Chains A and B, each alone.
Chain A
Amino acid sequence: MGEETTSLGSISISPNVVATIAYQATLESYGVVGLAPRNLAEGLAQTIINEPARGVAVDYDGENVDIEIHIIVEYGTRITSVAASVANTIRYHVEKALGLRINTINVHIAGLRVSSTD
């Protein structure tokens, strides 16, 4: 958990906050049609609690942030471009909101969605 001390006290930022921002940013990224649970356990947990940041894992040592994100992409888009812009968008939003330095963002394409065309 990251902490910063001000003259009035300390401010701490939970990795969950980073994950939520990343999650929201991803949903607004073009080409992403969903996020995927990282594993079966998370998938099960999801049906029980409504976690606001599924498919996102954040590793935050108080200085550097590492993000893993599992996304589902619309079939027929250029997947590498979509993934690159997801990473860009997450970096931009997290750095803007929290002023944290992002070390790595790994984007995993967990699946493709084929939209019915007609």
Chain B
Amino acid sequence: MCTMIAMQTAVTGSGKGATGWFPLSQANVGFDHATHTQAEHALLLDFVNPALGAGARVAVEMDIASGKALVAQLQAAITEAERSGFSE
């Protein structure tokens, strides 16, 4: 817990974890020690449902540049969807 950079947001959707699809309730975003990627620290993005246990988790680790690019493309996709009349 060496950076303590961690934040959450509620999520409505589904994720596919180690045992298949499950309903998501929360996304956790952080920047801390990486578990798998070959860097000391990484952006940590976890889609989870704590009510289903710690294993209900879709985990991603990425570097900061990738995170910035992802945010930009996520925003672009939302903008395009809303421009096309989708709002849900």
Are A and B interaction partners? no
Q: Interface residues, chain B, CB within 8 Å of chain A?
A: none
Q: Interface residues, chain A, CB within 8 Å of chain B?
A: none
